[in-house]
Structure formats: structure tokens, C-alpha cells
């Protein structure tokens, strides 16, 4: 178990990653996992920081994947229990949680379209802090188990007891312990879904992708077989989406661009691109918001300095620091003309909530 000092360092790495200091987060995480290889949270933070770091190389990520895969190479997986052919095929979805987040909302339509006469659906996640999305996820499952504070070996045993034929692992690298559960081979077939990269362990058989997120000529060395479909994300239309109002430019007299993404996605390259955008679109401004993160003055000063260093005055860049619920957050898009997604991720569903807000304008 991690000591207090390690937990404090882990929180510092998460803060560094969230503020965009990816390389610093990588270095700190490496020191943590060197001392304690079982600190799964540090592995997840480091993997995500490597994927965002502008100086990150594919070779570096692959090397770290191999390092992670070899940490517990002595696992002895018991043979999975097969369902008899006349029974329903049993499919399990394993995630860190089923909270209101892009992965949950993209998975809900998949559960909805499962043929209930042919499939039995089970959910496995931390259910200790449920929200509205958690309830919807549970309603679409035939059974579910809470996996709060459950060790990987115990989680694998429970999945095996449920006689799961196909285990779908959601966002393996940014969720604690999920790859380690798959390492125990609790199901006959194991699939990676909504992941950002190759999982890097031989026990994952397939990865679902598309020609954009997983191109055939891409540099990623997948151990799993990549199944490409035309479009693998289906995002449910948000029920709390407000009505589209009139163009705010009619009242403001300027064009407002906005990004409500995490500031960890606002890299130097993104600032450079947005700088050119503001310079070329006359009388325009940029609105940045992500819950209450921008109450951190050091963060706002860092981003503002990045724009100022490229010739953009600080006035066109505005920050909002209030933390509303999802419906009120969507309503903020009515103050903008164009919503920006700063960085395309393999989970191609992220821009859709923005698209819903302004496409009808």
C-alpha cells in the first residue's frame, strides 16, 4: 500500500498533468512506479501524460508499454469457464466507473442495441458514487457488480465466476488496475474499447478502432488484433441539451470561439494554432472554461503568457471558472459561435457535445 508521501506525490503528478506539465508528471510518475510497481494510478497518469506530451515519441510509449506488461509476468490464469452453446452469450463491460463522462455516454447506445434474447450483459465498475449516467448504465445491464477497492486477482475471479465469454475493457490506460484484471484472463475473449493506444499485453485479443484513430499504416505496435469499422462511436444525444439561441455575435459585435476542454489539452501547438485563428478572424475572442480549474491563477497566467508570447493581447482570451452541472455547462455554448476541440483523441466522441451546441446555428 502506498504511504502518505507517495500519495501526496501522486496528487502532485495529477495536478501537473492537468495543468499541462506533462514531462514533469512523467518524471515524477516514473520515480513512483520504480519504488512501487503496484501503484496503478501512477501508471495511468504517466501513460496519459506521455500521449499528450508534445515531445513524446511512439518509441517511448511502446517502451513503457513493455515495462508495464512485464511487471506481473508471473500471472497464472485459470482457464475461463465457457457458457453452454444454448445459453445467451455473456458479455461483461469493465470500467473504472460508469459516471457521466464521454466513454459512458458512448457506450450506452451500444448496450441499448444489444439483442437481449441473445446476450446477457454484465457491468463491472466502482459504483460507490453513482450519478444519473450510472443509473442508466445499470438499467441496460442484466447484472452488475461493484468493484470498489477490489484487487485485480479478486476482480478476475468474480468475472470468471459470472462465466463471462467476452470481456470489454473500457479506457484501459487511464483507469486504475483494468489492464491488470485483463492480465488474469478472466474471459475467453477480451476486447479493448475506447482506449487511446495499444494495451500492450498479450491477454487482450482485439482492439476496436477505425481508419482515423487506428490507421493501418500507423506507428503503434498493437499486440492485439485491430478491428477497424467505419465509425465505432455512437454518442447518445444529451438529454439536458438546452435550446439553441440567436447568434451572440449579434449582441456582442464579435465572434466568440470557445473550448471547454481540460487545459491539459492546450499544448504549445494548440496555442500557436489558436493564435493564428484570432489574428486572422477580425474582432474575435477566445473563451476557455473547464469546471472550476481556471481558479488556478498560475494556470491562467501560464496560458495567457503563451498567447502573449506569440503576439496576441490578453484581452481576447477570457477564462471562466464556475463549475456548473452538465446542462448549465452546455448552456454556456450559447455564448459562442464556434466550439473548438483542441486535440483529437482516439475516443472520437468528444467533439459531439460541442457539435450539438452550435451545429444548428
pLDDT digit string, tens, across residues 270-328: 888 898 898 889 889 999 988 788 888 878 888 888 888 766 655 788 888 776 666 77
Map residue 225 onto helix, strand or coil: strand
Least confident of 5-14, 25-34, 48-57: 48-57
CATH architecture of structural domain 249-358: 3-Layer(aba) Sandwich (3.40)
- Residue 93 is predicted with a pLDDT of 95
d(CA 208, CA 196) in angstroms, rounded, equals 11
Map residue 330 onto helix, strand or coil: helix
pTM: 0.72
Q: Can you tell me the mean pLDDT for 338-351?
A: 55
Q: Can you tell me the mean pLDDT for 204-223?
A: 80
Instruction: Say if residues 264 and 26 touch (Cβ distance below 8 Å).
Output: no
d(CA 195, CA 107) in angstroms, rounded, equals 12
Highest-pLDDT range among 121-130, 167-176, 230-239: 121-130
Q: Which residue has the cell 471558472?
A: 321
Instruction: Cell numbers for 259, please give them.
Output: 473550448
- Residue 86 is predicted with a pLDDT of 65
Q: Which residue has the cell 445499470?
A: 138
The CATH number of domain 89-228, selected from 3.10.20.30, 3.30.70.270, 3.40.50.11380, 3.60.10.10: 3.40.50.11380
Domain ranges of the chain: 4-56, 89-228, 249-358
d(CA 247, CA 249) in angstroms, rounded, equals 5
Q: Can you tell me the mean pLDDT for 219-234?
A: 76
For residue 261, what is the enclosing H or E element? none
Q: Is the pLDDT of residue 173 over 70?
A: no
Q: Can you tell me the mean pLDDT for 68-82?
A: 62
d(CA 319, CA 311) in angstroms, rounded, equals 19
122-157 confidence digits (pLDDT tens):
999 887 788 888 888 889 999 988 887 777 888 899
Average predicted confidence (pLDDT) for the chain? 78
Instruction: Measure CA 242 to chain center.
Output: 25
- Residue 119 is predicted with a pLDDT of 93
Amino acid at each position: 500500500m502506498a504511504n502518505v508521501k507517495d500519495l501526496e506525490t501522486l496528487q502532485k503528478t495529477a495536478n501537473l498533468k492537468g495543468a499541462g506539465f506533462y514531462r514533469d508528471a512523467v518524471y515524477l510518475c516514473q520515480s513512483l512506479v520504480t519504488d512501487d510497481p503496484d501503484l496503478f494510478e501512477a501508471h495511468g497518469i504517466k501513460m496519459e501524460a506521455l500521449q499528450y506530451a508534445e515531445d513524446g515519441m511512439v518509441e517511448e510509449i511502446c517502451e513503457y508499454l513493455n515495462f508495464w506488461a512485464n511487471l506481473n509476468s508471473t500471472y497464472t490464469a485459470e482457464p475461463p469457464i465457457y457458457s453452454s452453446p444454448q445459453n445467451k452469450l455473456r458479455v461483461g463491460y469493465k470500467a473504472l466507473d460508469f459516471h457521466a463522462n464521454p466513454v459512458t455516454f458512448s457506450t450506452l447506445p451500444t448496450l441499448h442495441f444489444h439483442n437481449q434474447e441473445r446476450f446477457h450483459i454484465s457491468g463491472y465498475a466502482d459504483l460507490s458514487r453513482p450519478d444519473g449516467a450510472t443509473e442508466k448504465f445499470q438499467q441496460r445491464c442484466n447484472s452488475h457488480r461493484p468493484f470498489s477497492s477490489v484487487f485485480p486477482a479478486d476482480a478476475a475471479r468474480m468475472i470468471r465466476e459470472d462465466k463471462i465469454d467476452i470481456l470489454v475493457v473500457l479506457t484501459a490506460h487511464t483507469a486504475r488496475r483494468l489492464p491488470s484484471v485483463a492480465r488474469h484472463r478472466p474471459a475467453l475473449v477480451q476486447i479493448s474499447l475506447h482506449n487511446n493506444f495499444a494495451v500492450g499485453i498479450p491477454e487482450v485479443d482485439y482492439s476496436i478502432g477505425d481508419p482515423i484513430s487506428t490507421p493501418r499504416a500507423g506507428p503503434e505496435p498493437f499486440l492485439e488484433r485491430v478491428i477497424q469499422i467505419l465509425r465505432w462511436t455512437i454518442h447518445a444525444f444529451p438529454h439536458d441539451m438546452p435550446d439553441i439561441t440567436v447568434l451572440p455575435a449579434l449582441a456582442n459585435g464579435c465572434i466568440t470561439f470557445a473550448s471547454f476542454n481540460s487545459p491539459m489539452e492546450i499544448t504549445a501547438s494548440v496555442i500557436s494554432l489558436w493564435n493564428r485563428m484570432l489574428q486572422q478572424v477580425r474582432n474575435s475572442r477566445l473563451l476557455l472554461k473547464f469546471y472550476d480549474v481556471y481558479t488556478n491563477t498560475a494556470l491562467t497566467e501560464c496560458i495567457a503568457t503563451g498567447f502573449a508570447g506569440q503576439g496576441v493581447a490578453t484581452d481576447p482570451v477570457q477564462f471562466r471558472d464556475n463549475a456548473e452541472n452538465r446542462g448549465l455547462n452546455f448552456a454556456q455554448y450559447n455564448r459562442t459561435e464556434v466550439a473548438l476541440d483542441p486535440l483529437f483523441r482516439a475516443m472520437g466522441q468528444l467533439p459531439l457535445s460541442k457539435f450539438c451546441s452550435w451545429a444548428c446555428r
